[in-house]
A = this chain, B = another copy of it.
């Protein structure tokens, strides 16, 4: 008796094209409707698959969303924070963090569907639940990064680590969402400089001595 989900194993045993059969339909549905409002029924109709067969390979909507995102997430595995973790001084640390932000924005711009799914993931609690494991990993990695910064004196340590991590990740999402919602209002020429300046905002709450300047 494996305690790992049967459906997941069965699904990953399928060929790439078979998997794509569902995942393409699912991705289209999720990108348009988000997680909660996406219809599992519509997905399987679009994929021309029966309910029985579909539930044979997916335990439910959660797992289908997870699989959909996971296919795209291979891309994001490219993120590599070791340089930042091993930075020798404050300036080097922030340079590497900036580099990570740049490669993330690049990944989002290069793959709109991936960016959409990630945004859904953050916005909808139900979606977040279905991707809990990778999200926890992300928090752990961010936590390690923050601690590395703290040991260099680059990051404040007068607040709980968890709070700093949460705030940083939420801030990143907030900035990303603003640009996603306002592409039209940002002149293309300024977009790059604005966006890098904006991601500089990520550092602000982490710097030592950033209290209300009273």
Using CB atoms and an 8 Å cutoff, list the residues of chain A in contact with chain B.
Answer: 34, 36, 90-91, 94-95, 97-98, 123-126, 154, 158-160, 162-163, 166-167, 170-171, 173-175, 177-178, 182, 185-186, 194, 197-201, 203-205, 207, 210-214
Contacts and interface: CB of A to CB of B under 8 A. Distances in A.
A160 B149 CA distance: 29
Contacts of A207: 204, 210, 213
A201 B167 contact: yes
A197 B158 contact: yes
A211 B178 CA distance: 18
Contacts of A167: 171, 174-175, 178, 201
Closest CB pairs A-B (n = 3): A170-B174, A204-B210, A204-B204
B212 A185 contact: no
Nearest to A166: B178
A90 B90 CA distance: 29
Given A198-B163, A201-B167, A98 B178 contact: no
A212 B201 CA distance: 8
Nearest to A158: B197
Given A123-B125, A212-B94, A212-B200, A160 B174 contact: no
